[in-house]
A and B are shown apart, each in its own frame.
Chain A
Amino acid sequence: GQQLNQSPQSMFIQEGEDVSMNCTSSSIFNTWLWYKQEPGEGPVLLIALYKAGELTSNGRLTAQFGITRKDSFLNISASIPSDVGIYFCAGRLPGANSKLTFGKGITLSVRP
């Protein structure tokens, strides 16, 4: 099946730093979604992207839909301890009722 590549598996940053996460694929996607999952919780939708080149912000988070439609990135600026969690990218392939494809997630740790 289609795969979304997220790496590295874990990231460790200092509080206050910015961090960028990429999600890539060999396939073209119509929609990109970024989720955050904290321990004991379900994934929470952070940002949704619907067209190539789109750049969308949600507070300190910014995400972009790649021009080639095969990638997306998520930036977190001025990180804080509560940013810790697992960040998943997900994409929806072209086609009606297309299901979401998920990346493996990146675990973010923020050192105070």
Chain B
Amino acid sequence: SAVISQKPSRDICQRGTSLTIQCQVDSQVTMMFWYRQQPGQSLTLIATANQGSEATYESGFVIDKFPISRPNLTFSTLTVSNMSPEDSSIYLCSETTGQETQYFGPGTRLLVL
């Protein structure tokens, strides 16, 4: 499996600000995804990051709130915009090479005050 790294690993932010999370994979992958894991909850897919085009968002998530970039096959960013305390979560980058298995990064732990 590819090795996935995320930056930052954690952050504490003030409401109304924005945070950009980076995801780097050490080899080319077919698909990259962004998930949110709220405290004590399971994983919820935010969007599929498409290389060179707009991300595909799941119901309940919009581009204005969670803009995503994927400039190449190994890198993606997720921005959490105009944050509120309800955005406090773990944000996880994930990848698959189309082999049906899927791997996750270590996550970014966000606390919004």
B86 within 8 A of A: no
Across the interface, do A33 and B42 meet the contact criterion of CB distance under 8 Å?
Answer: no
Check B28 for interface membership: any CB of A closer than 8 A: no
- B102 to chain A: which residues have CB within 8 Å? 33, 45, 90, 100
If A41-B106, A41-B107, A42-B107 touch, whether A50 touches B100 (CB-CB below 8 Å) is yes
Interface of chain B residues 89 through 112 with chain A (CB within 8 A): 92, 100-107, 109
Q: Given the complex, which residues of A lie within 8 Å of B101, measured CB to CB?
A: 31, 33, 45, 48
Given A100-B45, A102-B43, A103-B42, does the pair A42, B100 have CB atoms closer than 8 Å? Answer: no
Residues on A lying within 8 angstroms of B by beta carbon are 30-31, 33, 35, 40-45, 48, 50, 88, 90, 92, 97, 99-100, 102-105
A30-B100, A88-B43, A100-B45 are known; give 16 further A-B pairs, CB within 8 A: A31-B100, A33-B102, A35-B104, A40-B109, A41-B107, A42-B4, A42-B105, A43-B92, A45-B102, A90-B102, A97-B31, A99-B45, A99-B48, A102-B42, A102-B43, A104-B42
